[in-house]
Structure 1
Amino acid sequence: MKFSHALQFNAVPEWIDKYFLHSYEHLKKTIFQLEKEKVDALNRSEEKDEEHGSKSTVDESAFLNQLDTQLEKVFDFYTQKETELYNGLDALNNALESVDREDAHQFPNNNGMYNLETLDSSIKTDEKLTAAHRRRLSMESRFTMHSEAPSHVQELADKRSQLLHLYISLSELESYVELNKTAFEKILKKHDKVLDGHLRDQYLRKMVLESRPFMPATLDTLRSQISRVEKLYADAFCQGNMSIAMRQMKIHLKDQVRFDRNTVWRDMISQERKATEMHVKEPQAPQKRYGYGPVQLNGEQLRQLVAFLFCIVVFIVLLTVNTFGNKYENYCFALLIFAAVMWATEAIPLYATSMLIPFLVVLLGVMRNPDGSPMTASAASKAVFSSMFSGTIMMLLGGFSLAAALSKYGIAKAFASNILSRAGTRPRWVLLTLMFVSAFLSMWISNVATPVMCFSLINPILRTLPDHSTVGSCLILGIALACCIAGMASPISSPQNIITMQYLKNPSWGTWFAAALPIGVISLVVCWLLLLLVYRPDRSVPHLNTVKATSTKLNGTQYFILFITILTIALWCAESSLSYALGDPGIVAAIPLFVFFGTGLLNKSDLNAFLWSVVVLAQGGMALGEAVTTSGLLKDIAMRIKDGIENLPVIAILAVFVLLILVFSTFVSHTVAALIIIPIVQQVGNNLPIPHPNLLVMGAGLACSTGQALPISGFPNLTAVMLETPTGKPYLRSKDFMLVGGITSVVAAILVITLGYGIMAGVGY
């Protein structure tokens, strides 16, 4: 929860305008405005020396004046409330002593004790009141309504109510002091962090802690007054038993706090909902509805319905057409096209289509035994389900666990912020550093999670940019495209690579790095040059704000996570040499899953946060791959393709498939492109006169990450296109991706065909 929300959540509603609350968010905005002025002053300076620029100062008098005003407000309210409550307590103490003397005179046999049976009955009735009733009655005598009760009992009940009210008010006053002290500490810490200042210790020591509400002696006096109320209550109503008195008084305090927070929580939710509607949005025409009678669909729903019906028609037609001269292959081909069109059109969510595939595979009876006879439904079900959980899925889960641990414990963010803090202020170097940091992190925490973290890292830069600057768009697009390119960088950097590894014979991490890293680095540099050419960020803003490095040092837990991560990656890299002991890379993935969840570093919430939709999508693709393989369809398709290209050189065959995948992955998910095309590529490679299955499969797998020309081309682009400026305007539009991303896609595809082919052929693929 944000501190401003926590402050409001814990504040006393009647005193709400007396807290630091209303100015806390305004002071944060003042800090960010000072940060922006500091960067603007640096850019206006004629001196380009970065060291000189870092010493530029801004006028902080407005911020200090606001702090002083808040401190004075807290001082005035506390002094007033303290006097009011202390005087009330003194008067109540005298009144109780007076009642004590009168009652002792009237009832000498009570030995100074009151009619406890009558009063206890009233107390029990009082404790059954709801919190709402207690709140309404806390300012008045709750028992004067009992006209039949003796007058002295009614008076005692009234005094008890007043004591409870004083106890609650004094406790709330103590909380008031603590909350405001925390607010001053938080806002001063934010000031020093954003502006590289040293105001916190000085202001707290000389101003806050010297102000009467925050002095240790003042707090000691307040706590002694609370203890005094507790003692009075115990002596008057609990026969001196402090434990009973404390329990009764805390019940009242707890119920009142619960009621206050429940009310405030509802108010906060209402305010948050209103805040989300305050952004300036592009005017949108109301969505047109289609349908008849009670069935009404908007445009997107109608598109999905039409696409789904189209897929069904195509499926039925293909089931009835004898395409391959074999019933099993015909049915499997119909299923393959149906799944491909469903995935391409997203008539339903991608993972939902994957869930349907195992059912259709068994229902159509397309799977066959090695001798060509059809499998029984029982055998087909077992074969399909066994294909859906393999070493590939285990590697995917292992990669998710590494990503979760590195992100949860701030290791990835600490690494990125420390590197970016050394990038200087020139936009071109900040952009280049940002792209390489994004690419490197994508190798280990996937290019699905990395963009989100990197976009949050550049918030200090984005919020200090001049209005209508294109630098923000340049930086965000650079992160997105770098993460897309890095999708090919390591076997666990993207789901399509995980799928590709499944179809490689004796996959080697070393060979993957040897081919992928040079292609990725050159593509990143080309993309960086294109961004500089298109956006010219140095002309727009000569100097950017600096990303602050994480100041805390790594602790033992973080070192342990790093050790397990490095060990896992090292075993993956050496898996081909250790295959006699490990058997499959998926076995290695059990190490981080067991260690992180077994030691409690990751918990059930982290497990639930895994990208299970991606896992299900991959499982559906594997089930489909098993079906087209055992049915004989894959081999039949591969032989027909081979007949048309077998006279071509291998590099030309690779070029055909790379260009096909480039187009496909631009308009459809990279993962879907791998699921559909990689199995076909493998069979074609196996059936060439000189087989080259690994070369074609790996080349095709690398090509799956080259499609970047549209917002829908990969997870990083989808994340980037949703980002908005503080006024609600999108940073990026489709044309931004088409220009830079389109050219980068073509360059990366050419590199796969040329440089990638040379490296893979050189290592024996």
Structure 2
Amino acid sequence: MKFSHSIQFNAVPDWSSHYIAYSNLKKLIYQIEKTTHQPGAADIETRPLLRDEDPDTVFSRSLDVELEKISSFFGVKEKELLDEVGELLRDIDLFEEAGRSGQYDTQRPALVQPSTDQVKRAGGPRSSRSAYSMHSTEDGVEDSDDDDQDETSALNRTRRPSAGSTHGRRRTLASARAPTDMTASTELTKSMRRHSVGFDDYAETAEFFSDGIMLKKRIVSLYVQLCELKSYVQLNRTGFNKILKKFDKIIDRQLRPKYLETSVDSSYPFLRETMRQLEGNIEKTEKAYANVVTQGDETLAKKALRSHLREHVVWERNTVWRDLIGMERRAEAASLGKGLLGASNDGTKVRLQGDDAPVVSGKEISTPLGRLTCPTWLFGSTMLTILGIIAVFLVFLTVPILEKQEQQACLAMLIFVSLLWATEAIPLFVTSLLIPFLCVVLKVVRSEDAPHRRLGSKEATNYIFSAMWTPVIMLLLGGFTVAAALSKCKIDKRIATFILSKAGTRPRTVLIANMLVAAFASMLVSNVAAPVLCFSIIEPMLRNLPYDSNMSKAVIMGIALASNIGGMLSPIASPQNVVALGIMEPPPTWGQWLFISIPVGIVSLFLIWILLLITFRPGKGTTIVPIRSVREEFTGLQWFVSAVCVATIGLWCASHALESTFGHMGVIAILPIVVFFGVGILTKEDFNNFPWTIIILAAGGLSLGKAVESSGLLHTVAAKISAEVHELDLYVILLIFSSLALVIATFISHTVAALILLPLVYNIGKEMEKPHPNLLVMATTLMCSAAMGLPTSGFPNMTAIMKEDATGERYLSLRLAMARCA
């Protein structure tokens, strides 16, 4: 959670205006940054603010104002609470003195309530002399309208003498929800009761018990307010530390150590003596509670007071917490995309109501059994699409096209899932889960021993599910684990900022450096996380570029296109690469893959860089803020994670030589999983946050390839296509299928295109006179990653097209993005 939200989340609601103005100070930092790097671009409001002064002086002046505000409020609040602590301790002394002497002073404030046993023994009605009418509830004690004071109004509170009190103290309640410990109150005064059953004796005893309860409420109130004041100091101290750290990072200064030492730590609220005095008063309230309520048990008293504090916080800040949690959830949902709000194309709208389960909006229809609410997507274009796909499936299932029934059924299934994937009528991973179901029900799997015998349902189930979980899936999990560890320890960001810090301020150099970093990050942490990482790193540079700058457009498009290219650079960079590894026989090692993909990637990046320079001419009138590397030293944890990742990648590269030991790269992938999760660097939450939809999608594609191969359909189709192209040259065939992959992957998901095309391409390569299946598969896989002609062609493109500036305007227009990507 951002600290600007955290400070609202943890602040006392009635004191909200007295905390450090963190958001305003952050805006000031951005103004100073922009004026420092582009003096001529400063607006009319910013120029008088700076007046050619040193940024440290300008920012320190604003911090001094905040520090004075905090110190003034703290001084007033502290004096008020310390006075109340003194009054409380005097009242406790009077209360204990009255208990020891057995006499009751009617001038003291009312504090405890009588028990039911006393009312029965007294034989009379309750006395009307009680200062407060109390109502014991399940949640606690509610006080009457007689006391309407707010215990959290620090500066505007007026004192008025309590009725019947010679001390003139103001009665303050901790919370309307403060629970009453009636058992403790009864035990507390057993030894102090007088056993007369007369009305006067009962009235005196009842008044004495009322005194005990009200005294307990005062102790709880003071304890809560003292704890809130302590939290006030700690939260503001953290605020100063964080805002100064942000200032030093953005403006490249060293103000934080100096200002904290000379100004913040020497200010009265942040002195160690002040904190010790505050903690001493908290201890006094705990001892007072122990003496009055828990019969001297301080451990029990602390536990009870902390319970009161928790209940008070929940009660007083319930609305603030709920609003802020909702804000964080909305931000998280926005960052994760449409998946949390429903499928993007199914027309279903999901409405989240607080903490309730998602409610799917629907349309009511009348039936003989009553009114029925149906999801809206049943009446939209998505439903028509699904019905059309089912109709096509039934046609191919019933109309005889191929001689063998299992091949006919497999063709119908292949067309059915391909259409569902292409239209995204239902989520992609759901379509993948349909594949094993259809394979078993349609009986498309044949025996390997007897190729003409179709397997029964039980045998087919074992075969198809074993095809879904292969070493390739474990390799994918290993890749996700390495990426998660690098990201969690911020190693990827450190490497990226280090490289970009060396790029200087020349626009063309900065552009190619960002593209290289994006491609390298995509190679290690996938082309889904890479653009998000790179955009966060260049945010200061974008913030300081002029409005509608060509440089901002060029660098955003460069990162997106480079991330797509980076998706082809390593076997774990994208799911289509993992699918290709599962199809190719023998699968290429990491070294072989890098030997092919790195030159292709470098040439592609260079051509894209030239195109962006020609199109945008980003060097005209552009002043670039240099990106600074992280100053903190590499920690021991980061060194350990780096060593494990490098060792894993090294073993992957040497997997062919180590085949007799490990058998497959998927076995090597188990090592980082065991190490990172075993030592606690990654947790089960990280494991649960893996993109399991991609894993299911890849597993479904692998099972589909196995089913199409087992049924003989793949061999039949490949033989017919090979007969048509057998006279063509190998490189002509390569060009045809590469172009086909490029076109298909531009309009549908790269992974889906690979799932559909790669098994077919592999078998066509096997059926050639001079078999080259791996060559065709490798080329097709690389072309799937290179398909980026539309803003929707891949996740990097979608991230780039949605990138907005500080005013909420997109950096790229749809027409511009389509023209440049194509």
Q: TM-score, normalised by structure 1?
A: 0.86
Task: Indicate the residue corresponding to 1:33 in structure 2.
Answer: 31
Residues 203-602 of structure 1 aligned to structure 2 (within 5 Å): 203-236=259-292, 238-269=294-325, 302-370=380-448, 371-506=451-586, 507-540=588-621, 542-602=622-682
Q: Are 2:86 and 1:90 aligned?
A: yes
- Verify the 8 A CA contact 1:167 1:226 in the aligned structure 2: yes
Cα pair distance change 1:491/1:237, threshold 3 Å: closer
2-side partners of 1:591 and 1:248: how far apart? 48
Q: 1:300 to 1:450 in 2, by over 3 A?
A: farther
Match of 1:9 in 2: 9
Per the alignment, residue 130 of structure 1 pairs with 139
1:450, CA displacement in angstroms?
1.5
Correspondence for 1:64: 60
Structure 2 residue identity aligned to 1:513: L
Q: Is the 8 A contact 1:708 1:737 kept in 2?
A: no
Structure 2 residue aligned with 1:757: none
One-letter code of the match for 1:564?
A: V
1:42: how far off? 8.3
Q: CA deviation at 1:741?
A: 1.9
Residue 660 (structure 1) shift: 0.6
Query: Structure 2: how far apart are the matches of 1:384 and 1:709?
Result: 35
The answer to whether the Cα contact below 8 Å between 1:233 and 1:245 also exists between their aligned partners in 2 is yes
Residue type at the aligned position of 1:728 = G
Shift of 1:156: 4.5
| Structure 2 segments unaligned to the other structure (5+ residues) | 43-51, 105-109, 119-133, 152-170, 181-201, 335-346, 350-361, 367-372
- 1:195 pairs, out of 251, 254, 260, with 251
* Amino acid across the alignment from 2:468: M
After superposition, the Cα gap between the structure-2 partners of 1:710 and 1:372, relative to the gap in structure 1 and judged at 3 Å, is: same
> Which one is further off, 600-609 or 168-177?
168-177
Structure-1 separation of matches of 2:604 and 2:557: 14
In the alignment, the residues of structure 2 paired with residue 410 and residue 352 of structure 1 have an alpha-carbon distance, to the nearest angstrom, of 33
Task: Give the conservation status (yes or no) of the 8 Å contact 2:476–2:695.
Answer: yes
Classify 1:246/1:448 alpha carbon distance in 2 versus 1 (closer, same or farther; 3 Å): closer
Q: What does the per-residue CA deviation read over 1:12-52, in whole Å, with 9 as the maximum and x for residues that have no partner?
A: 222222222xx2111111111211222223889xxxxxxxx
Instruction: Return the alpha-carbon distance in structure 1 between the equivalents of residues 252 and 381 of structure 2.
Output: 53
Contact 1:37 1:58 in 2 (8 A): no
* Whole-angstrom CA distance in 2 between matches of 1:243 and 1:599: 36
Q: Show structure 1 runs of 5+ residues with no match.
A: 45-55, 109-113, 279-286, 743-765
Shift in Å at residue 502 of structure 1?
A: 1.8
**Deviation, structure 1 residue 275:** 9.9
> Amino acid of the residue matched to residue 314 of structure 2?
R
2:795 to 707, 715, 719: 715
Kept in 1: contact 2:25–2:243 (CA 8 A): yes
Give secondary structure in 1 for the equivalent of 2:486: helix
Note the C-alpha offset of 1:417.
Answer: 1.3
Separation in structure 1 between the aligned mates of residue 818 and residue 380 of structure 2, nearest angstrom = 27
Contact 1:132/1:259 (CA < 8 Å) preserved in 2? no
- Measured in 1, the distance between the counterparts of 2:379 and 2:528 equals 27
1:169 aligned to 2:225? yes
Deviation at 1:175, TM superposition (A): 1.9
Which one-letter code corresponds to 1:330 in the other structure? Q
Could you tell me how far apart the structure 1 residues matched to 2:223 and 2:35 are? 48
Change (3 A) 1:291 1:121: closer
Matched AA of 1:353? T
Native 8 Å contact 2:113 2:212 kept in 1: no
Q: Secondary structure at the match of 1:463?
A: helix
What does residue 52 of structure 1 align with?
A: none
Counterpart amino acid of residue 530 in structure 1: L
Aligned equivalents of 1:377 and 1:416: distance in 2?
52
- Aligned-residue offset at 1:65: 3.3
Verify the 8 A CA contact 1:131 1:256 in the aligned structure 2: no
> 1:541-600: per-residue Cα shift (whole Å, max 9, x none)?
x22222232222222222222222222222222222222222222221121222222222
Structure-2 separation of matches of 1:730 and 1:101: 74
Shift of 1:264: 2.6
TM superposition shift of 1:397? 1.2
- In 1, Cα distance between equivalents of 2:297 and 2:446: 83
**Secondary structure class of the residue paired with 1:373:** coil
Instruction: Specify the code of the residue in structure 2 equivalent to 1:86.
Output: L
CA distance in 2, matches of 1:466, 1:600: 45
SS of 2:77's partner is helix
Cα distance change of structure 1 residues 127 and 480 upon mapping to structure 2, 3 Å threshold: farther
The equivalent position to 2:765 in structure 1, one of 685, 689, 693, is 685
Contact 2:111–2:212 under 8 Å retained in 1: no
Residue 786 of structure 2 aligns to a residue whose secondary structure is coil
SS in 1 for 2:811: coil
Structure 2 SS opposite 1:728: coil
> Greater shift after overlay, 564-573 or 671-680?
564-573
Pair 1:243–1:494, CA change in 2 (3 A):
closer
**What residue in structure 2 maps to residue 182 of structure 1?**
238
CA contact (8 A) 1:89 1:166 kept: yes
Is the Cα–Cα contact under 8 Å of residues 368 and 374 in structure 1 kept in the other structure?
Answer: yes
Contact 1:140 1:158 in 2 (8 A): no
Please name the residue that 2:809 is paired with.
729
For 1:269-318, what per-residue CA distance to the aligned partner results, in whole angstroms no more than 9, with x for missing partners?
4677999999xxxxxxxx99999957898799833222222211211221
1:10 maps to a residue whose letter is N
Separation of aligned partners in 2, 1:417 and 1:132: 57
Aligned match of 1:750? none
**CA 1:94–1:491: 2 relative to 1, 3 Å:** closer
**Kept after mapping to 2: 8 A contact 1:38/1:57:** no
Q: Which segment is superposed worse, 500-509 or 438-447?
A: 500-509
RMSD: 3.4
- The total of aligned residue pairs comes to 712
Give the match's secondary structure for 1:537. Answer: coil
Per the TM alignment, residue 511 of structure 1 is displaced from its structure 2 partner at its CA by 2.4
The residue type equivalent to 1:72 in the other structure is E
- Summarize the Cα distance change of 1:149–1:263 in structure 2 as closer, same or farther, 3 Å threshold: farther
**CA deviation string 1:31-77 (max 9, x = no partner):** 11211222223889xxxxxxxxxxx9765655333322211111211
CA deviations 1:124-177 (Å, max 9, x no partner) are x9997636848989755799xx97744344344433432332232222222222
Change (3 A) 1:684 1:79: same
Q: CA contact under 8 A between 2:112 and 2:212: conserved in structure 1? A: no
Check whether the contact 2:114–2:206 (CA below 8 A) recurs between aligned residues: no
- Measure the CA separation in 2 of the matches of 1:705 and 1:288: 30
Alignment CA distance shift 1:598-1:177 (3 Å):
closer
Residues 127, 169 of structure 1: alpha-carbon distance in 2 compared, 3 angstrom cutoff = farther
Look up the match of 2:751. Answer: 671
**Between Structure 1 and Structure 2, which shows a larger proportion of helix residues?**
1
Question: Mean Cα displacement is larger for which, 156-165 or 577-586?
Answer: 156-165
